[in-house]
Amino acid sequence: VELPGFAVSVWMFVCLYASVGGYPNGKVREACTSMVPCHGSSPQRSPEHSISVNVTEFKPGDSIEVHLSGPDFEGFFIQARDAEHLDIPAVGSFVLADRRRSQLLTCGRTKNSAVSHTSKAKKKDIKVYWIAPGDAPKHVQFLATVVKKYRIFWVKIPGPIVSQTDVLSPTPPLHATSEAMSTSYPASYISKAFSASGCGNTKFCIRNPSNCDPGSASCFFLSFQREESSVYIEMSGPSEGYLAFALSHDQWMGGDDAYLCVNEDHRVHVSTAHLKERSYPLLDFFLYVLWRLADGVLQCSFRRSIHLPAYKGRFNLDASYYIFLADGEASEGGLIYKHHRQPLVTNGLYNVTGPPQDIGGSRSPRLIKAHGALMFVAWITTVSIGVIFFLFFKPVWSHSFLFGKELWFQVHRMLFFFTVMLTSISFVLPFVYRGGWSQQAGFHPYLGCAVMALTIFQPLMAGFRPSRHAPRRQLFNWFHWSTFFFARILAVVVTMFLGMDLPALDLPDPWDTYTMIGFVAWHVGTDVLLEIHSYCLIRKVELIEDDRVQILQSLTSAEAETDCSMTFPPLFFFFRLFKQIVLTIYACGNIIFLVAFLIAINQV
């Protein structure tokens, strides 16, 4: 399902809930933070308008003339912000020069801290005066959003920087212009790939696979490096659409502070978002980005202040969080799609501004891994070997006893007891992880409940098994066999095949499906081989002893094999040896499938 693009999704969302659609009267308080108009389209890149001022230095209380000019435009929105922290609210206050075309607005707690239009009448220039407050920052930059037509507008056009007297100009002016420029100009291109040097020493890194090189085509990389009051962030991974990371208080999506790096028409921009459960991200404000696209690897970097007290939903970076890292596809124009696989999630809470670490993560939660592993052990190993014992080893071990019962029956019962226990434990784990029923897993949980019900019903039915020669024994055998056959088909052929492709497990595709097909073929092949062997044995006995043909024909396959073992000891010795060899090979094959599956689970 296609998701709305970042800008489109946000503006449509705001339009649905705001009291007005668009702001023809200039009352744009809803856009104080982002400076993004609610017009349902993406902002333009190269601005046609400019901001100028009459001085470059100021003292608290000074008045500075601010002039916005350019081709005809209908709307505008002007603010002054701390040039070194453009993500904090507007500073200072404005005085109008023309009350017919401009009006004062209050953004945050500062009265008259913004100026906007009074109507959509066309205009070529606007002049206002900015009054420097007593607690003015050292460097101030003016920003403007300009609307040419309803769907043609520019966001956060960067204006000149003015500095307090006797304060040096900011060099380099990265913080001064960065966040404003991201929606107006192409971001700067990185000439070479990121490096993992410093991971664990000077910067906090997350890598998947562990210790991978960020320049490789299979490495997902995220690093945080503290720089006084800000953090320098690098993000890299094999994606031609988008990469995103989020800070979360838990291992669930929802209420998270997210940052998205999106490839839009072969250029990259970064924006922040606030995630509400599993819905599309709601855009807040833009950030300047350094980026690189090469060999299918997308890389971007930006800075963010450690504390953002004025921005609701933005987390302080000096606390501990779970960290998500996701990737997905994006179409032309920046429209994004839901990530096609489970995000990478750290296994614990981490403080990215604390002691540097070099860690990994997992795309599959541990409880879901345990669920898949236990189900695989139960239905691939214990059930399969138990079936072989029941079908083909009854005549071989019919005269061997353990605790007063035939050996084959005790082994068969023990294996199926483990199956019931493993299935029961595994069945509970997803509910513990989810805290209830999952609406995202399709038919898999419904089929799992059916398998669990049949798994419990089977041993309960076995407790009421009639005696061997009772009239209802044949009916019981059919019910007992049918229930098991249906449960096994439902568990292995349907539920497990569907479960392996769920995002929460994220097994390597298509090898997970090939492995399961290989196991089914392995088991069916073993069954067919042993059936052919039993048939050939009976035919051989018939040729040796014609006078026992009618007796053999009146018996079942298992009874005939038992009778043969008593009449032809040498022949039966080779028969038993062959079956034991086949069972050994079959068990080894099952173990190989099991080990391959467990290794695959451990890698995600």
Q: Are residues 325 and 216 in the same domain?
A: yes
- From 164, 185, 218, give the residue that closes a domain: 164
Q: With beta carbons less than 8 A apart as the criterion, state whether 304 and 233 touch.
A: yes
Q: How far apart are CA 268 and CA 290, in angstroms?
A: 8
- Give the pLDDT of residue 569: 53
Q: How far apart are CA 447 and CA 441, in angstroms?
A: 11
Buried b (16+ CB within 10 A) or exposed e, 136-162: bbebbbbbbbbbbeeeebbbbbbbbbb
- Give the pLDDT of residue 76: 94
What's the CATH code of the domain at 130? 2.60.40.4060
pLDDT at residue 236 tops 50:
yes
Residue 179 lies in a domain: no
- Lowest-confidence pick of 68-82, 265-279, 330-344: 265-279
Residue 526 phi/psi, 5° resolution? -65, -45
Verify cis geometry, omega within 30 degrees of 0, for the bond prior to 365: no
- Lowest-confidence pick of 45-54, 141-150, 310-319, 570-579: 570-579
pLDDT at residue 542 tops 60:
no
- Lowest-confidence pick of 167-176, 263-272, 441-450, 533-542: 167-176
Residue 55 CB: number of other CB atoms within 10 A? 11
Helix-then-strand count for the chain, H and E: 12, 25
- From 362, 396, 412, give the residue that closes a domain: 362
Q: With beta carbons less than 8 A apart as the criterion, state whether 46 and 82 touch.
A: no
Q: Are residues 315 and 448 in the same domain?
A: no
Total domain count, the chain: 3
Q: Which residues pair with 106 in a beta bridge?
A: none
Q: In 3D, which of 204, 197, 434 has the Cα closest to residue 320?
A: 204
Q: In 3D, which of 238, 237, 259 has the Cα closest to residue 248?
A: 259
If DSSP codes are grouped into helix, strand and coil, which group holds residue 508?
Answer: coil
DSSP state of 14: H
Residue 402 CB: number of other CB atoms within 10 A? 13
> What share of the chain in percent tops pLDDT 70?
75
Q: How far apart are CA 207 and CA 200, in angstroms?
A: 11
Give me the residue label for tokens 């390597």: 508
Q: Are residues 458 and 314 in the same domain?
A: no
Q: Are residues 153 and 210 in the same domain?
A: no
Average pLDDT, the chain: 78
Q: Are residues 338 and 382 in the same domain?
A: no
Query: CA torsion sign, 362 to 367 to 373 to 376?
Result: negative
Q: Are residues 480 and 343 in the same domain?
A: no
Helix (H) or strand (E) holding 260: strand 256-264
Give me the residue label for tokens 């993992």: 196
Give me the residue label for tokens 């009146």: 554
Q: Which residues pair with 286 in a beta bridge?
A: 271
Residue 131 lies in a domain: yes
Go through the chain and tell me how many residues it has: 604
Read off the pLDDT band of 175 (50, 70, 90).
very low
Count of alpha carbons within 13 angstroms of residue 504, beta-carbon side: 24
Residue 26 lies in a domain: no
Q: Are residues 587 and 521 in the same domain?
A: yes
pTM of the model: 0.54
Q: How far apart are CA 173 and CA 138, in angstroms?
A: 13
Residue 35 lies in a domain: no
Helix (H) or strand (E) holding 218: none
Q: Are residues 295 and 375 in the same domain?
A: no
Q: With beta carbons less than 8 A apart as the criterion, state whether 479 and 464 touch.
A: no
Residue 9 lies in a domain: no
Q: How far apart are CA 273 and CA 258, in angstroms?
A: 5
- Give the pLDDT of residue 284: 43
Residue 417 lies in a domain: yes
- Percent of the chain that is helix, strand, coil (3-state, to 5): 35, 30, 35
Read off the pLDDT band of 34 (50, 70, 90).
confident
Maximum average pLDDT range among 184-188, 201-205, 283-287, 416-420: 201-205
Angle between helices 444-462 and 407-434 (to 10 degrees): 150
Query: CA torsion sign, 10 to 16 to 20 to 22?
Result: positive
Q: Are residues 72 and 210 in the same domain?
A: no
Q: Are residues 126 and 102 in the same domain?
A: yes
| DSSP conformation letters of 100-142 | TTEEEEEETTEEEEEEEESS---EEEEEEEEE--TT--SEEEE
- From 362, 388, 421, give the residue that closes a domain: 362
pLDDT in tens, 458-474: 888 888 888 878 888 88
Residue 33 lies in a domain: no
| Structural domain of 418 | 366-544+569-603
Residue 352 lies in a domain: yes
Which CA distances in Å does 313 have to 175, 276, 308, 310, 543? 21, 11, 9, 10, 85
Query: CA torsion sign, 183 to 186 to 191 to 192?
Result: positive
pLDDT in tens, 387-409: 777 777 666 666 667 777 777 78
